[in-house]
Amino acid sequence: MNILVTGAAGFIGSHLTERLLADGHTVVGLDNLDPFYDMAIKRQNLSNFNQHENFTFVLGDICEPEDVERACTEQKPDMIVHLAAKAGVRPSILAPVPYHQVNVEGTTVMLEAARHYKIPKFIFASSSSVYGNNEKIPFAETDNVDYPISPYAATKKAGELICYTYSHLHDIDITCLRFFTAYGPRQRPDLAIHKFARLILDDKPIPVYGDGSMRRDYTYIDDIIDGVRAAMDRCSGYNIYNLGESQPIRLDELIAELENALGKKAIINRLPLQPGDVNQTYADVTKAKLELGYHPTTELSVGLKRFADWLKNTNTTE
């Protein structure tokens, strides 16, 4: 199968590309190497498979139809896996317009490409942030998601809606995947686990917003990729699935587990809660288990140990 992966140089995108190539697929990776974090990290991610005979890299922007056209005509894709996005909840509050441009308009450009080039299947990377401060736990795909509390979350909800429209109007099979706090080797350096780990190793204080009681459903990258692959194999009609570990952990418990994985104690700098931060995330993965055969297996302590080993042995810098 020929697959177009947007955001192929990123954290999830690079892991998915590696898996697809290992499975014998042909992959075209589209990425603009956005400087949201050090481009050297993304180039390092690409180096893991850039010379593979079945991989082609297209340096381009999902908001530019000409770049998307180049990616779509490099190899006629059978499927688009659209992972590229402008990421980050807090930065989206400070600069919401670029988030709308990339996450909503860029997604529309990709859907237009699927329509124009008659690409029958489309996977869209959504986010657990669409649930906002959902009072019902665990979060299920049927819950109301009309109250996102950050521009980033709102753009992901908008992406799901425009995906439904294209599926309905143009008979494209589209699956939206709501990722719950993915972590593991190559995780973005701005995300909590990676950021905290580097600060702990450098004997610097880690910023902890609130009293440590916020809970997140941390999901190891291998389990995320298993879910994406299952969704790709079963992409039919229009569907939304949660991909999470379904085991939410308090922030203070995460820090304790990270200390164990790194073999060092953290220095805590307590700060006020930040706008846009949700109180908890907790994935109900019943639908994904029943319909995708999704079964996350990586305990947090195991995943953090793998992450810590990678971090200590990588030359990647922030």
Q: Determine the pLDDT at residue 316.
A: 45
pLDDT by residue (tens digit) across 59-80? 999 999 999 999 999 889 999 9
186 neighbors 248 (Cβ within 8 angstroms): no
Q: Which residues have a catalytic role annotated?
A: 152
pLDDT by residue (tens digit) across 272-312? 888 878 889 999 999 999 999 999 999 999 999 999 999 99
Q: Tell me phi and psi for residue 139, to 5 degrees.
A: -80, 125
Q: Determine the pLDDT at residue 74.
A: 86
Using pLDDT thresholds of 50, 70 and 90, give the confidence band for residue 35.
Answer: confident
Positive or negative, the Cα torsion across 287, 291, 295, 296? negative
pTM (2 d.p.): 0.95
- Which amino acid, 47? S
Q: Tell me phi and psi for residue 61, to 5 degrees.
A: -110, 130
Positive or negative, the Cα torsion across 62, 123, 216, 31? negative
Distance of CA 54 to CAs 1, 28, 58, 70, Å?
Answer: 11, 8, 13, 17
pLDDT by residue (tens digit) across 102-112? 999 999 999 99
Give DSSP secondary structure letters for 102-127: IIIIHHHHHHHHHHHTT--EEEEEEE
- What is the mean pLDDT of the segment spanning 220-228? 98
Tokens of 277: 């931060």
Q: Determine the pLDDT at residue 315.
A: 53
Q: Determine the pLDDT at residue 278.
A: 85
Distance of CA 300 to CAs 118, 191, 193, 304, 316, Å?
Answer: 41, 16, 11, 6, 23
DSSP β-ladder status, 173-179 and 238-243: parallel
Question: In a 3-state reduction of DSSP, which class is residue 245?
Answer: coil
pLDDT by residue (tens digit) across 9-24? 999 999 999 999 999 9
Using pLDDT thresholds of 50, 70 and 90, give the confidence band for residue 317.
Answer: very low
pLDDT by residue (tens digit) across 253-273? 999 999 999 999 999 999 988
Q: Which domains does the chain have, with CATH numbers?
A: 2-183+219-246+282-297 (3.40.50.720)
